[in-house]
Amino acid sequence: MKTGNEIQITPELVKEHGLTEEEYQRIVGAMGREPNYTELGIYSVMWSEHCSYKSSRFHLKKLPTKAPWVIQGPGENAGVIDIGDGQAAIFKMESHNHPSYIEPYQGAATGVGGILRDVFTMGARPVANMNALRFGEPDHPKTRHLLAGVVEGIGGYGNCVGVPTVGGETNFDPSYNGNILVNAMTVGLADADKIFYCAAAGVGNPVVYVGSKTGRDGIHGATMASAEFTEDSEEKRPTVQVGDPFTEKLLIEACLELMATDAIIAIQDMGAAGLTSSSVEMASKGGVGFELDLDMVPQREANMLPYEMMLSESQERMLMVLKPGREDMAKAIFEKWELDFAIIGHITDTGNLTLKFGGEVVGDMPINSLVEDAPEYERPYVPTPKREKADVAAVNDLNKAVLDLVGGPNLCSRRWIWEQYDHMVMGDTIQRPGGDAAVVRVHGTEKALAISTDVTPRYCFADPVEGGRQAVAETWRNITAVGATPLAITNCLNFGNPERKDIMGQFVGCLEGMGEACRALDYPIVSGNVSLYNETNGSGIMPTPAIGGVGVMKDSAKMATVAFKGAGQTVVLIGETKDELGASLYQKQILGEDAGAPPHVDLDLERRNGDFVRALIENGQVSTCHDLSDGGLIAALSDMAISGKVGVSVSVGDDLPLHVALFSETQARYLVATDAATAEEIRKEAKDAGIPVVVLGETGGDRVVVNGGGVDIALADLATAHEGWMPNFMAKEPLSA
Active-site pick, 96, 140, 346, 626 = 96
Nearer to other proteins, 251 or 694 (CB): 251
Told to check if 424 binds other proteins by CB under 8 A, we report yes
CB under 8 A, 24+ apart: contacts of 28-31: 30/366, 30/369, 30/373, 31/365, 31/366, 31/369
Q: Measure the CA–CA gap between 509 and 525, rounded to whole angstroms.
A: 17
x/- mask, other proteins, residues 552-591, rule CB under 8 A, reads: ----xx----------------------------------
Q: Measure the CA–CA gap between 2 and 692, rounded to whole angstroms.
A: 74
Q: How far is it between the farthest Cα atoms of the chain? A: 85
Active-site pick, 50, 59, 140, 423 = 50
Q: Are 346 and 249 in contact (CB under 8 A)?
A: no
Rounded to the nearest whole angstrom, what is the least distance from the CB of residue 275 to other proteins in the complex?
24
Told to check if 161 binds other proteins by CB under 8 A, we report yes
Segment contacting other proteins by CB under 8 A, of 98-106, 153-161, 563-571, 650-658: 153-161
Q: Which of residues 191-220 bind other proteins (CB under 8 A)?
A: none
Ordered DSSP codes for 408-460 = STTTS--HHHHTTS--STTS-EEE-TTSSSEEEE-TTSS-EEEEEEE--HHHH
Segment contacting other proteins by CB under 8 A, of 136-144, 172-180, 211-219, 428-436: 428-436
Told to check if 109 binds other proteins by CB under 8 A, we report no
Q: Which of residues 337-376 bind other proteins (CB under 8 A)?
A: 337-338
Sheet with 448-454: strands ordered across: 429-431, 438-441, 448-454, 544-553, 485-494, 525-531
Query: Nearest Cα to 245, choosing from 108, 146, 133, 433?
Result: 108
Does the annotation count 98 as an active-site position? no
- Contacts of residue 29, defined as CB under 8 A and 6 or more positions apart, other chains included, come to none
Rounded to the nearest whole angstrom, what is the least distance from the CB of residue 159 to other proteins in the complex?
6
- Contacts of residue 707, defined as CB under 8 A and 6 or more positions apart, other chains included, come to 650, 651, 652, 653, 654, 658
Q: Which of residues 324-343 bind other proteins (CB under 8 A)?
A: 336-338
Told to check if 429 binds other proteins by CB under 8 A, we report yes
Told to check if 421 binds other proteins by CB under 8 A, we report yes
Which of 35, 149, 155, 467 contacts other proteins by CB under 8 A? Answer: 155
Which of 427, 655, 688, 732 contacts other proteins by CB under 8 A? Answer: 427
Phi, psi of 549 (to 5 degrees): -105, 150
Q: Which of residues 30-69 bind other proteins (CB under 8 A)?
A: none
Segment contacting other proteins by CB under 8 A, of 157-165, 224-232, 265-273, 390-398: 157-165
Rounded to the nearest whole angstrom, what is the least distance from the CB of residue 491 to other proteins in the complex?
28
Query: Nearest Cα to 117, choosing from 257, 256, 280, 310?
Result: 256
Q: Measure the CA–CA gap between 524 and 530, rounded to whole angstroms.
A: 17
Rounded to the nearest whole angstrom, what is the least distance from the CB of residue 259 to other proteins in the complex?
17
Q: Measure the CA–CA gap between 734 and 737, rounded to whole angstroms.
A: 7
Nearer to other proteins, 252 or 283 (CB): 252
Chain centroid, CA 162 distance in Å: 19
Told to check if 245 binds other proteins by CB under 8 A, we report yes
Nearer to other proteins, 336 or 645 (CB): 336
Report H helices in 482-576. Answer: 501-520
Rounded to the nearest whole angstrom, what is the least distance from the CB of residue 139 to other proteins in the complex?
23
Segment contacting other proteins by CB under 8 A, of 17-25, 240-248, 457-465, 642-650: 240-248
Task: List for the chain the helix, strand, coil content (%; round to 5).
Answer: 40, 25, 40
Segment contacting other proteins by CB under 8 A, of 168-176, 257-265, 289-297, 429-437: 429-437
Nearer to other proteins, 155 or 524 (CB): 155
Which of 159, 278, 624, 667 contacts other proteins by CB under 8 A? Answer: 159
Q: Measure the CA–CA gap between 528 and 530, rounded to whole angstroms.
A: 7
Q: Which residues pair with 581 in a beta bridge?
A: none
x/- mask, other proteins, residues 452-491, rule CB under 8 A, reads: ----------------------------------------
Q: How many residues bind other proteins (CB under 8 A)?
A: 32
Ordered DSSP codes for 95-151 = E-HHHHHHSHHHHHHHHHHHHHHHHHTTTPEEEEEEEEEEE--TTSTTHHHHHHHHH
Ordered DSSP codes for 70-109 = EEE-BTBSSEEEE-STTEEEEEEEEE-HHHHHHSHHHHHH
Nearer to other proteins, 394 or 425 (CB): 425
Rounded to the nearest whole angstrom, what is the least distance from the CB of residue 420 to other proteins in the complex?
5
Told to check if 160 binds other proteins by CB under 8 A, we report yes
Rounded to the nearest whole angstrom, what is the least distance from the CB of residue 418 to other proteins in the complex?
8
Dihedral, CA atoms, 367, 370, 373, 377, nearest 10 degrees? Answer: -150
Told to check if 419 binds other proteins by CB under 8 A, we report yes
Rounded to the nearest whole angstrom, what is the least distance from the CB of residue 155 to other proteins in the complex?
5
Told to check if 250 binds other proteins by CB under 8 A, we report yes
Number of helical (H) and strand (E) elements in the chain, helices listed first: 25, 28
Segment contacting other proteins by CB under 8 A, of 31-39, 156-164, 182-190, 194-202: 156-164
Query: Nearest Cα to 576, choosing from 608, 621, 617, 619?
Result: 608
Nearer to other proteins, 29 or 246 (CB): 246
Rounded to the nearest whole angstrom, what is the least distance from the CB of residue 359 to other proteins in the complex?
37
Ordered DSSP codes for 37-61 = HHHHHHHHHHTSHHHH-TTTHHHHT
Rounded to the nearest whole angstrom, what is the least distance from the CB of residue 424 to other proteins in the complex?
5
Told to check if 156 binds other proteins by CB under 8 A, we report yes
Which of 249, 477, 607, 722 contacts other proteins by CB under 8 A? Answer: 249
Segment contacting other proteins by CB under 8 A, of 89-97, 154-162, 204-212, 577-585: 154-162
Q: Are 461 and 63 in contact (CB under 8 A)?
A: no
Segment contacting other proteins by CB under 8 A, of 73-81, 151-159, 659-667, 668-676: 151-159
Q: Are 202 and 274 in contact (CB under 8 A)?
A: no
- Contacts of residue 325, defined as CB under 8 A and 6 or more positions apart, other chains included, come to none
Query: Nearest Cα to 219, choosing from 153, 294, 305?
Result: 305
Does the annotation count 423 as an active-site position? no
Nearer to other proteins, 58 or 729 (CB): 729
Sheet with 703-706: strands ordered across: 624-627, 670-674, 570-574, 693-699, 648-650, 703-706, 711-714
Which residues are known to be catalytic? 50, 96
Instruction: List interacting residues with other proteins (CB under 8 A).
Output: 152, 155-156, 159-162, 244-247, 249-250, 336-338, 418-427, 429-430, 432, 441, 556-557
